[in-house]
Chains A and B, each alone.
Chain A
Amino acid sequence: RRPPSGQHRHCEGCFDRHCHVPVEPDVSCMVINCHLLCGATFHMCKEAEHELLCPLEQVPCLNSEYGCPLSMSRHKLAKHLQVCPASVVCCSMEWNRWPNVDSETTLHENIMKEIPSEECLDTALALRDQKVLFRSLKMVELFPETKEVIKERPTVNGEATWEEMAGAVGGADVDLVPRGSLSTTNEEMAELSQEEREALAKTKEGMDLINKEHAASALTKSPSGCESESKRKNASGKEQVSRDNNAVGEGVAKGKEPQETQKKEDFHTAVETVGLAPWQDGVLERLKTAVDAKDYNMYLVHNGRMLIHFGQMAACTPKERDFVYGNLEAQEVKTVHTFKIPLSYCGKRARLGDAMLSCRPSEHKAVDTSDLGITVEDLPKSDLIKTTLQCALERELKGHVISESRSIDGLFMDFATQTYNFEPEQFSSGTVLADLLTAASPGGLHVELHSECVTRRHNKSSSAFTFTCNKFFRRDEFPLHFKNVHTDIQSCLNGWFQHRCPLAYLGCTFIQNHFRPPGQKAKVIYSQELKTFAIKPEVAPELSEGTKNNYPSGCGRKSQNSLTSLPLEILQYIAGFLDSISLSQLSQVSVLMRNICATLLQERGMVLLQWKKNRYSHGGTSWRVHREVWQFSSLFSKIKSWEFNDVTSMSEHLKTCPFNVVEHKTDPILLTSMCEPRDQARKTLVSTFTNRL
């Protein structure tokens, strides 16, 4: 019902619940109660307004834009938010793991010899972390010299690239790049930059080695950049210098022939030969042609007063007003184009150091190995996994460094200190360590069993490998997940939740789980498929056999054993008792189970939005919501407290531990007091001091 264009004259100010003013058109109307019976009483013309705040009004959830389909009374909105399926949180738990190079290798080997048990929690988690790690270690980043040579892309002229990249960062800046004046290779360059942009977004160092010329030219900024700009400026028109008093007239070309390394010398020669003293007429014009913008500005800073005094340059304020501003140093006002940050700086600021590394020119130098006595081909091949892990942590792990910087002739040069010889000689740019595992030992554990927790707020910029949880949960599920999984289990794996034999350092793989969920018997497992911990209730084996027909009458009703024989509402009732992780498992079994679980999505699941990038013909992009995605989280039933498992003492195991080798000494051993001669004077503490006195 549309509200009237204006409130009734009387009703506008009337809030009397018992108003008895007679009804008059355009003046007043009758008083009514809220039709939802919330208790409010108001003039009828205010009904639409009341709907905006009636607590019983049916409204969509506050998260309706994020996928929540539910509507409810307004007064239930807040309570619903706690369990809203669109209220989703991503777990940001981090933990660290060092690679194991020297320590406890026997234990790791022995563990990998056995079939991995789902109850062996620390091993399972370590293996999962290792898998993630190996998929992320790119070989060419660590060993750039092994990158396989691929066909060179056409190298792009530095000046045009500068413009394109500049445009890419700040959005299409049409004024700056008049397309008509560029060469025909513009499209190619545009494509290259787009690819480059994407490569920058993906690669760790923010730069692809092949395009290092681009990077080099971009990073050397002003000279070539300004050169291209100035060329274009002169082509398209003169730039206006905006100031209060425009006396210098023509546009400023920011230096026509930049000299990269010799700008200083040129400047000096310019001053001497061409006559660049501040009192000489035309000095500024000569200066502009001789030096680049930076030196021009420096000259102005140093000689500004004199230039103004001798009339070479107009002051910001007219001379007549000098008495007011007399003590200020006049400065020429110039418009400077916004400095477009090169993509390499934008892309990965934190890794700026790495970005600089890759654009330094490199040269291969041979090392004389004749004193080894074997040919280069016979040199032992480096262990792929161990070497990769060591080099990934080169600073931290025992100081292994691939190269060290030395200063030579005022420049820093990196000298390689180690070289590695791998079986597969060349790697493509996308090869990760996981791809090479078939060649190396496939079933090894190369990371430490125990993990550490150093959050990202601590200074650990290049310490051990970091792993994150990154799982999605509904807001009310998140505290349970964090408590049970990360706090109770994961953080306590080292020696509290699980106990390893004290002789594990010798290689014993015996392990005991000391805790279980309360109530009925259940065990904690790590599910590799779901990549998380889960609870598995223990069921007597004969009861879980589905094929055995325990039905007494035995009249061939095998289908009766199937869960699907139960009516739908019962299946739904059973599903209502399952935790989120079990629902996600059950939904993968059959179409019927999937549909049953789907009925619980709104109540127990969560909804996420999937975004899609739209590209437009003019080059711009925008993100749009593509669709809603419903899923169950990996949360298991809440465990408020843990109970002790009935396990025997560790000493029982030690009696039979194969690594428990007892040494029986048979030869007599001298006690220490038997070694010294007895007739030596006994020294007391007091006698030590009295002698000195």
Chain B
Amino acid sequence: MPSVKAQSSDGEIPEADVEVAKQPVTIKTMVEDLRMDDAGGNDLVPLPNVNAAILKQVIPRCTHHKDDPPPPEDDENKEKRTDCVSVWDQELLKVGQGTLFELILAANYLDMKGLLDVTCKTVANRIKGKTPEELPKTFNIKNDFTEEEEARVRKENQWCGEK
């Protein structure tokens, strides 16, 4: 079956089945617009923003989810829940934070809504339940409030607007 080659930022060229490869909308657009599926498997899809390691994790996910129905349209009022991550995805995402963020960026670049949802939900789950003291440590966020701002925010976590 026809396959597509994608070149990662560090030069590696993992191969993938074209059906699998078309899941990321970016690749799908490239393939269809440049009519690469007609030609032989010699043309490369350049992916300068994704490195090989991440690509190697994205491809299995695409394979696993290739028969999934397209995600429903975003309903404005539908509550965004974080507990509907499948077990398979949970296993896949048992990675360090750096990798997780790379996956998010890759999913964003490749326009893969499913992967983006799952990775963002995972990060959200890591944020939930933590105090403002624990969060900076977990996510390496620097506290850049001034002293008065911080005191005000800790005392009353509000945003005030003049009437």
Contacts and interface: CB of A to CB of B under 8 A. Distances in A.
Contacts of B130: 536, 582, 585
B141 A576 contact: no
B145 to A, nearest CB: 6
Nearest to B82: A577
Interface residues of A, number: 74
A552 B139 contact: no
Nearest to B84: A519
Interface string B86-118: 000010001111110110110010000000100
Interface string B111-133: 00000100011011111111110
A329 B113 CA distance: 92
A575 to B, nearest CB: 8
Contacts of B127: 574, 578, 582, 585-586
A549 B96 CA distance: 8
Given A560-B98, A598-B159, A629-B158, A578 B124 contact: yes
B51 interface: yes
A630 B129 contact: no
Interface stretch (B22-30, B33-41, B73-81): B73-81
A546 B104 CA distance: 16
Interface stretch (A21-29, A489-497, A498-506, A589-597): A589-597
B128 A551 contact: no
A577 B95 contact: no
Contact of A570 (B120, B128, B144, B153): B120
Interface stretch (A375-383, A527-535, A681-689): A527-535
Nearest to B76: A603
B97 A546 contact: yes
B71 interface: no
A54 to B, nearest CB: 23
Contact of B101 (A519, A565, A585, A629): A565
B138 A546 contact: yes
A545 B134 CA distance: 11
B163 A625 contact: yes
A558 interface: yes
B161 interface: yes
Contacts of B145: 590-591
B116 A573 contact: yes
A537 B129 CA distance: 7
Contact of B159 (A544, A582, A601): A601
A588 interface: yes
A623 B96 CA distance: 54
Contacts of B97: 543, 546, 550, 561
B44 interface: no
Contacts of B102: 551, 560
B96 A548 contact: yes
Interface stretch (A413-421, A443-451, A631-639): A631-639
A164 B82 CA distance: 63
A586 B143 CA distance: 11
B99 A520 contact: no
Interface string A549-574: 11111000111111111110010011
A566 B139 CA distance: 11
A645 to B, nearest CB: 16
A130 B66 CA distance: 56
A630 B136 contact: no
A77 interface: no
B151 to A, nearest CB: 11
Interface residues of B, number: 56
Contacts of A529: 131
A561 B98 contact: yes
Nearest to A626: B163
A568 to B, nearest CB: 12
Contact of A540 (B94, B139, B141, B144): B94
B130 to A, nearest CB: 7
A229 B157 CA distance: 53
A219 interface: no
Contacts of A542: 96
B104 A570 contact: yes
Counting chain B CB atoms within 10 Å of each CB, the highest count among A539, A563, A587, A601 belongs to A563
B125 A539 contact: yes
Interface string A612-653: 000000000000011111111000111000000000000000
B125 A566 contact: no
A83 interface: yes
B153 A594 contact: yes
A579 interface: yes
B84 A546 contact: no
A54 B28 CA distance: 45
B42 interface: no
B136 to A, nearest CB: 6
Contact of B120 (A560, A577, A626): A577
Contact of A537 (B81, B84, B126, B141): B126
Given A539-B125, A574-B123, A577-B80, A585 B99 contact: no
Contacts of A591: 144-145, 149
Nearest to A562: B140
A593 B98 CA distance: 19
A551 B138 CA distance: 16
Contacts of A549: 96, 98
Contact of B125 (A520, A561, A575, A629): A520
Nearest to A591: B144
A454 interface: no
B1 interface: no
A607 to B, nearest CB: 8
Nearest to A609: B163
A574 B124 contact: yes
B161 A537 contact: no
B147 interface: no
A28 to B, nearest CB: 45
Nearest to A536: B129
Contacts of A570: 104-105, 108, 120
A517 interface: yes
Contact of B132 (A536, A573, A585): A585
A586 B153 contact: no
A584 interface: yes
A585 B85 CA distance: 23
A518 interface: yes
A525 interface: yes
Q: Can you list the 8 inter-chain pairs with the closest CB atoms, starting with the nearest?
A: A550-B96, A536-B129, A519-B83, A577-B124, A588-B132, A562-B140, A551-B98, A563-B139
14 contacts: A522-B129, A544-B126, A552-B53, A560-B102, A561-B140, A563-B141, A570-B108, A574-B120, A574-B127, A585-B131, A591-B149, A601-B159, A636-B128, A637-B128
Given A522-B129, A564-B140, 5 more contacts: A527-B131, A587-B153, A589-B136, A592-B141, A637-B128
